[in-house]
Each structure stands twice: as C-alpha cells, then as structure tokens.
Amino acid sequence: MDGSFRIGRLFGIPIMIHFTFLLIIPIFAWLIGTDITFTVSMVSDLFHVQLNDELITQGYIPYLLGFVIAIGLFLGVFVHELAHSLIARRAGIAIGSITLLFFGGVASIEDRDTDPRVEFWMALAGPAMSLALGLVCIALLYGTPLVIADPALAGMVTYVWGYLAILNILLFIFNLLPAFPMDGGRVLRAYLALRMPLHKATGIASTIGKAFAVIFGLIGLVIFSPILILIAFFIYIGAGQESNVTRYKFLLKDVTTREIMSQPVMSVQPGMPLTEVIAMMYQTKHLGFPVIDRGYLAGIITLDDITRVSSIDRDAMQVKDSMTTDVITLPPEAPVFDALRIMTQYNIGRIPVIENGTVTGIITKSDIFTVMELREM
C-alpha cells in the first residue's frame, strides 16, 4: 500500500505502518486528554470502581495517558487483524501484510474464492480477539489495586485498563454489525453463501452494508462526527467494490483470453510515423496497437502515448519514439478475470496475448465487459 513502511515481521507476516497512523496517534492522545474528567467518571461508574484521580488529571499526564491508550487501542487493532491472518494462513491462504492505518488495520489476504465455512471463522476471529482483549483488560482493571499499593498510581493504571476494555469491547460490537465489508458483514455473507451462490450472497450483504453506511453517515452528520462519516464512506465504497469484484468473478468464471481475444491482430512497425498511427485510430476506432519488430513484440502504442507528445512534434516522430516498451502480456490460457484485474491495477485498456513468442491476439476492457453483458443475460 502506498505511503506505508515496514517495521518488522510476526509469524512470517510483514507488519506495515501507513503514514496516516502516525498522524492519528497524537490526535487521539489530545482528544482523550481533553476529555479526561468525563472518561474517568465513565470508567468508575461502568465498572463500579473508585478511581483516585490525583495523578490522572495533573499537568500533562492526561495527554500522556491519552497517548498510552491510543497506542494500546492500535495494538488491539493489530492483534484483531493478526487473528484474521492466522486463521486464513491455517486454511492455506497467503497473507501479504498487515498494515495499520488511521482508521484501523487492514490484512492483505490473497484474493481467491474461499470456502464460506473458512470465511465464517476468519471473519469471526478478529471480533473474538477484540472481545478477549476487552475481558483481559477488565481482569487487569480489578487486579491492579491488589498489586499496586499507591492509590494514585493504582487509580491511573486502573483507568488505562478500563478505557482499553471499553474500546476493545466497542470494537467487538462494532465489527460484528452486518455492514459488509466489515467482519459482521463477512460473517453474514458466509452464512448466506452456504445457502446460495456466492455472488448473490455478496450482493445481499453489500446492499445491507450500504444501508448501514448511509445510517452511519446520517448519524455522523447529526452529531458532527467526521470519523463516523469517514467510516460510512469507506463502508459504502468497499461494499460496492467487493460486490462488483465477486460479480465479475462469477460472470468470467472459466473464460480464458483465447476465447475472447481479438484476432488477427492489427499491428504497427517501430518506424511508422505517428501521424499514420493517428489515421489508423480514426479508421479502425482502435486506440492502441502492438508494435512488431521482426516478428516479435517490441512495445505498444496507445492514444495516451501519443497525447503525451506535443502536437507540434508529432509530425516528426515515429512509433518507436513514444511507444511503451514495458508491455504486460498474457498467455492464451490465462483467466480473463486476471486480465481485468491487471488492467484495473495498472490502468491500461488492452493486453497482447502471446503464444510461442508471437502475438496471437489482443484483449481489451471493452471485450471483457461485452462478454460479461452477454453472460448476464
């Protein structure tokens, strides 16, 4: 993920931190520190403990406690994501990394069709870990006065455990809401997928997730909570994206590039003037051509490549002067969904198909979407 840097590995999984994580920690520390009186009362009332706040409210200590609690919260988020990852890896699913962001954590899990039973337990593992952490914090809260004799110090430590217990239990509850693609939404999808095709289960879970996102957004507007509005935005976008990906996988299942590639391939030579290529584009309505040199693929020339050249220089330039030489190719037996994923990832519109070193066809985004429309009928 762009903007992330690695801080280590755990159980063989790379641990990353996004730069936004470093920005949110001091903000959380400040928010917790400025609200210290209310939260001390909240912890005391909720857990029925007497808190000596002699140290808690002194000088800069509220903000230091806020910093400690913010770090503790994100450690809890990390353990939450680690639980997902370890269950996934046990099922043979590859884990790319765990990244801590300003709104929580993300585990980069291999994109593949997962057995609904496996996804069910993967999705539950994170919230279950948050609940376990909350219960551990409660136990430590009640145990602190037994091991720390100083009432003021005991009050401060008890407050930290109490606040972290509340946050982890809230994480447990919030993540179990059936708002796909959150954990609760994935649990719902896994349950539905045992009774219907995955793409239909994803569609239902996605619709419910979007409804929750709208509710979160409205509540965020009413109570002026930017964080809740941001969460609503991510849920809404995430639900739509995952639903589309699952639908595309279903529609393109078992379709290979050989079946839908265009052939014979219209190609150009490296020495062809750019003006002739533009004329070919007008004539054929194609916006890109493979560049063939002595029978082998030398590059690809697209409308984007040409528009990067000033209109004054185009008359004097040839294909080889502006073509893209680092060309992504696929074999004829490659799944079409892989082609769509690559096109989306690298923002390209076409991929040459290579067999035995020769360009045998070309596949475009419009080819793929046409096939999807036909298969959806």
In this prediction the pTM is 0.76
Question: For residue 262, what is the DSSP state?
Answer: B
pLDDT band at 187 (very low <50, low <70, confident <90, very high): very high
Q: Cis (ω within 30 of 0) for the bond into 264?
A: yes
CA 342 to chain centre: 17
Query: Confidence class of residue 271 from pLDDT cuts 50, 70 and 90?
Result: very high
Residue 227, pLDDT score:
75
pLDDT at 121: 92
Per-residue pLDDT of 21-46, as tens digits, reads: 778 888 888 988 998 999 999 999 99
pLDDT tens, position by position, 360-377 = 999 999 889 998 888 877
278 Cβ neighbours under 8 A, 6+ residues apart = 306, 314
Query: For residue 127, is pLDDT > 90?
Result: yes
Q: CB burial class (10 A; 0-12, 13-18, 19+) of residue 347?
A: exposed
Q: How many CB atoms lie within 10 A of CB 232?
A: 23
For 316-372, what is each residue's pLDDT tens digit? 899 999 999 999 999 999 999 999 989 988 889 899 999 988 899 999 998 899 988
Q: So what's the pLDDT on residue 113?
A: 66
* Torsions phi, psi for 291 (to 5 deg): -105, 115
Mean pLDDT of the chain: 89
Cβ atoms of 263 and 367 closer than 8 Å: no
Q: What is the pLDDT of residue 102?
A: 65
Q: In the prediction, which pLDDT does 148 show?
A: 92
